[in-house]
Amino acid sequence: MGKVLSDEQIHQYHEQGFVSPIDVISEYEAGLYLQRFQEAEHNHPEMAHPHKRNNIHLSYKCLDELAHHPVVLDAVEDIIGPDFALWATVLFCKEPSSPHYVSWHQDATYMGMSSPAFVTPWLALTSSNPATGCMQMIPGSHLSEIFDHEDTYAEDNILTRGQVVKNVDETHAVDLILKPGQMSLHHGKVVHGSRPNTSKSRRIGFAMQSFMPPNIKQLVGKNLWLNMRGTNVRENSIALHRPAHDLDPVAASDRALADANLDDILYLGATQKRGF
């Protein structure tokens, strides 16, 4: 038994490359966080929109709190051990009845890390189900190598390059259905994607992408990390700061650095840059 996950859940993660659902906060609390997020979004829209969706946890206190929630960190510890840092976050918002989707891909492909053995918690702020465009996973695909990805830059594809793994057998896909306040955990190499939101409600997922132990090194860009738990000694690294409040200027300058770094890494060698 881990701190949060049962032995069965830990086994499932290692066998299938994901585990879901995990209760983090109640639906009621998720509603309060959603309200705080939407207020911050209303007051400071320049810090959170489809082309400014990375590292919002360095701008909005509510997302910083969720990234540090003890249930999130305990579950991460159950998977990768007691020492880890957070590399980045992405807020995946799909507006009601919108065409945006995420093609089949493996996260580790363009992240420039020395190993894909990292974990991403994806926390639902609103309901995530087939109608709203929940994530879908291909069980066991994390046990393969990184597949070839074709960069399509397709208009409604909200991945940086619209990168896609071809010939995925979708008959094995598993829908990760989450209530507000629940999360899933997925491995850096699991093949996953999501369909458009056909519902009348927003689908908002906070992907903490990703938590990594100190033996995983950034090989392509600057070494920027938010230390989360235990000892995280990394050569030539810069420790990011938590915001004390919305738009904290210290964390804001960290975010500018981290967003630019993420751009350099994710678009390395790309033929187009799309501002995601």
Ligand X SMILES: O=C(O)CCC(=O)C(=O)O
Residue 56 binding ligand X, by CB under 6 A: no
Q: Which is nearer to ligand X, 53 or 229 (CB)?
A: 53
Q: How far is the CB of 250 from ligand X (least distance, A)?
A: 27
Residue 194 binding ligand X, by CB under 6 A: yes
Q: How far is the CB of 184 from ligand X (least distance, A)?
A: 9
SS in 3 state form for the chain?
A: CCCCCCHHHHHHHHHHCEEEEEECCCHHHHHHHHHHHHHHHHHCHHHCECCECECHHHCCHHHHHHHCCHHHHHHHHHHHCCCEEECCEEEEEECCCECCEEEEECHHHHCCECCCCCEEEEEECCCECCCCCCEEECCCHHHCCCCCCEECCCCCECCCCCEECCCCCHHHCEECCECCCEEEEEECCCCEEECCECCCCCEEEEEECCEECCCCCECCCCEEEEEEECCCCCCCEEECCCCCCCCCHHHHHHHHHHHHHHHHHHCCCCCCCCCC
Residue 122 binding ligand X, by CB under 6 A: yes
Q: Find the part of the chain contacting ligand X (CB under 6 A) among 28-36, 42-50, 149-157, 201-209.
A: 201-209
Residue 77 binding ligand X, by CB under 6 A: no
Residues 243-272 that bind ligand X (CB under 6 A): none
Q: Which is nearer to ligand X, 118 or 225 (CB)?
A: 118
Q: Which is nearer to ligand X, 163 or 218 (CB)?
A: 163
Residue 135 binding ligand X, by CB under 6 A: yes
Q: How far is the CB of 271 from ligand X (least distance, A)?
A: 21
Of the residues 16, 55, 120, 197, which one makes contact with ligand X according to CB under 6 A:
120
**Total residues contacting ligand X (rule CB under 6 A)?**
11
Q: Which is nearer to ligand X, 113 or 246 (CB)?
A: 113
Residues making contact with ligand X (CB under 6 A): 92, 102, 107, 120, 122, 135, 192, 194, 205, 207, 209
